[in-house]
Amino acid sequence: MFNLTYRFNKLRDNFFYTEFNYQLRRGKIFPPFMVAWDCSRKCNLHCAHCGAIKEQYDKELTTEQVKELINQIAVMKVRFFGATGGEPLLREDLIEVLGYAAKKGIKTGFATNGFFLDKKTAKKIKEAGISSIQVSLDGTEEIHNKIRGNNLSFKRAIKGIKNLQDEDIKIVSVATTLTPMNFENLRELKKLLLDLKVKRWRLCIIMPIGRADKNNLKLNPKQIRELLEFIASNKNNIKIQVGENLPFLAEYEKKIRNAPLVCPVGFTACCIGVNGNVRGCPEMPDKKEFIEGNILEKPFSDIWKNGFKKYRKREILISDKKCSMCKDKEKCYGGCWVMREGGTHCIYNLL
């Protein structure tokens, strides 16, 4: 039954991507399902695996500039607008801006380290209509604090999760980045999350950007296999999502997923950067080959319609000779673009 569901979802996805490009050739464009907002690179912590330090900015988009973007994506019928960083709550206007989007009928959320999620802030989040919060938790107390570089970070994150639950926020999830620093702590962390009644858990391996690349925090092939076995055997206890940087899982794919996870860049998602540059996702470096335009220079709808060509045409399946000859190229589509920055995009090399 599980494989039957997967096959049905694969057919559905294939139809969507075929129809997307057919309509695009006719001059029509489906709107993105989700627009991410890389809202700030400011952060109160110093995480060992941080990828956000890859760029720093002198200026951020103003409140009014972001609200104008929201006006545009509301007209386009974008369904979700989510903020990431840095630490989004260091932007004083975060809840105001996301509340503005919520009033426009767009579902909203943000990813946070949880440090500033006190009762007052949780109440404001609820009142603003923000429906989804992802809190980072990388281990039990000693390990989490070591990774995050702050001895209060664990207790503040746990308290933040409880405060959100007390306010009955619709989706409260936890994200964990797996490195050799916390890999052996995985089972203890699962027990903690079950005790906290957390229902969604996002597990990621590092991307080769920022501090993570410099600190050599990659899991080895044995650990990655153990991770995938752990997910396969625990996915019924807690809803586990594998990070988007592993869009295809080889022999583990159908053991873990009931639908393909194709990179959504240019089809259903994109990211607005700190300075207004539009790129595929928050993790993509803010450099020429990934920049599709800037919302301060042209309407977002024009950028969405006319950009993202290399993703929509699957150009990597031609330019990368190894990918072009791979038996699974129609399942993987070349892997994660950010992982390519460090040559770690191929699942068969990782395993």
Nearest to 348 by CA among 266, 261, 252: 252
Q: How many whole angstroms from its chain centre is CA 86? A: 13
What is the rounded CA–CA span in Å between residue 159 and residue 145?
14
Angle at 86 between CA 130 and CA 185, to 5 degrees: 90
pLDDT of residue 311 exceeding 80? yes
Place of tokens 């007052």: 120
Q: What is the DSSP string of 95-163?
A: HHHHHHHHHTT-EEEEEE-STT--HHHHHHHHHTT--EEEEE--SSHHHHHHHHT-TTHHHHHHHHHHH
Residue 21 pairs in a beta bridge with none
What is the rounded CA–CA span in Å between residue 331 and residue 148?
35
Angle at 151 between CA 177 and CA 49, to 5 degrees: 25
What's the confidence (pLDDT) of residue 213?
Answer: 78
Q: How do residues 63-81 score in pLDDT, each as one tens digit?
A: 999 999 999 999 999 999 9
Place of tokens 């990431």: 84
What is the rounded CA–CA span in Å between residue 77 and residue 56?
31
Q: How do residues 116-152 score in pLDDT, each as one tens digit?
A: 999 999 999 999 999 999 999 999 999 999 999 999 9
Predicted confidence band of residue 1 (pLDDT cuts 50, 70, 90): low
Cβ pair 83, 94 in contact under 8 A: yes
Sequence-separated (6 or more) residues with CB below 8 Å from residue 280 = 263, 265, 266, 269, 270, 271, 290, 292, 308, 311, 337
> What is the torsion angle, in degrees rounded to the nearest 10, for the CA atoms of residue 43, residue 44, residue 50 and residue 56?
30
What's the confidence (pLDDT) of residue 2?
Answer: 60
Place of tokens 């802030």: 121
Of all residues in the chain, the percent with pLDDT exceeding 90 is: 93
Nearest to 46 by CA among 150, 155, 163, 125: 150
Which residue spans within the chain are E strands per DSSP? 34-38, 80-84, 107-112, 132-136, 171-178, 200-205, 239-242, 269-272, 277-279, 293-294
What is the rounded CA–CA span in Å between residue 174 and residue 140?
13
Q: How many CB atoms lie within 10 A of CB 307?
A: 18
Mean pLDDT of the chain: 95
Cβ pair 52, 214 in contact under 8 A: no
Predicted confidence band of residue 210 (pLDDT cuts 50, 70, 90): confident
Nearest to 243 by CA among 258, 254, 231: 231
pLDDT of residue 91 exceeding 90? yes
Cβ pair 173, 210 in contact under 8 A: no
pLDDT of residue 289 exceeding 70? yes
Instruction: Indicate the helix (H) or strand (E) that contains 56.
Output: none
- Cα-based distances in Å from 229 to 138, 224, 251, 310: 19, 9, 11, 34
Q: How do residues 147-177 score in pLDDT, each as one tens digit?
A: 999 999 999 999 999 999 999 999 999 999 9
Largest CA distance in the chain: 57
Q: Are strands 277-279 and 293-294 parallel, antiparallel or unpaired?
A: antiparallel
For the residues 264-268, what does the mean pLDDT come to? 97
Nearest to 97 by CA among 86, 105, 108: 108
**Burial (0-12, 13-18, 19+ Cβ within 10 Å), 327:** exposed
